[in-house]
Structure 1
């Protein structure tokens, strides 16, 4: 199974904000959308980084009280780990484990953003595939017997 199949089911909506937004507005955006990370985009829509719940917690631990008014650009991760739509789900899971990330922006061949997947999306897809395979094997065994 490839990432493109997950995006077909999930959709390609990606939540983003600008680097000049505050950590408080970012936290509210994450909460309202019930997501764990948001992409950070520049004025022309270019990808500048990603801000995760983990980034916020680390930033708050380092900066102390009063961090909600600081800028997203101060907390975001600038080095994006990305994948392509033809990436296998198992490869993406391996990349997440290796790079210790939970969200992967999906880029087309030209580097354009076409979606984002989370660890939850990938685990869900693997479980659904395993259930389907088990059902097919069960049907095969029953019909062959």
Structure 2
């Protein structure tokens, strides 16, 4: 299965924030949409980074209450690992495992954003794929004997 299939069912809408948005606004957005990360985007520059719950917790642990005055631009992880719509779910899961990340922006070859997938999206797709394969095997066995 490829990432494009997940985006077909999930949709390509990506929740994002701007570099100047503060921590309070970011955390409200995360809570409101029940998500674990938001992309940081600007109209002219595209995707600049990602802010995850993990980024906020780590900043809170090291800076304490000073985190409340920070912006997305200050908090964001700037080094992004990405996949393309043609990437396989297996490859995306391997990248997440190797890099210890939970979200991957999906970018076209020209760099345009076409979605965001989470570890949950990928695991759900992989389970559905395994269940489908098991059903096919059952069908094959019962109709061959």
The one-character-per-residue Cα deviations of 1:73-131 (angstroms, maximum 9, x if unpaired) are: 11110011111011010000000011111000000111100001000000000000000
Structure 2 alignment gaps of length 5 or more: none
Which residue of structure 1 aligns with residue 84 of structure 2? 84
Number of equivalent positions: 145
1:40 aligns with 2:40: yes
Q: Distance in 2 between matches of 1:104 and 1:87?
A: 11
Which residue of structure 1 aligns with residue 142 of structure 2? 142
1:24 aligns with 2:9: no
Equivalent runs, 1:90-109 vs 2, <5 Å: 90-109=90-109
Query: Alignment RMSD, CA only?
Result: 1.0
Superposition deviation, residue 45 in structure 1: 5.4
Q: Distance in 2 between matches of 1:125 and 1:6?
A: 7
- Deviating beyond 6 angstroms after TM superposition, the runs of 4 or more aligned structure 1 residues are none
SS of the counterpart of 2:50?
strand
The one-character-per-residue Cα deviations of 1:54-84 (angstroms, maximum 9, x if unpaired) are: 0000011111124223211111100111110
Calculate the TM-score normalised by the size of structure 2. Answer: 0.97
Structure 1 alignment gaps of length 5 or more: none
SS of the counterpart of 2:44?
coil
1:67 aligns with 2:67: yes
Calculate the TM-score normalised by the size of structure 1. Answer: 0.97
SS of the counterpart of 1:109?
coil
Which residue of structure 1 aligns with residue 13 of structure 2? 13
SS of the counterpart of 1:65?
helix
Which residue of structure 1 aligns with residue 121 of structure 2? 121
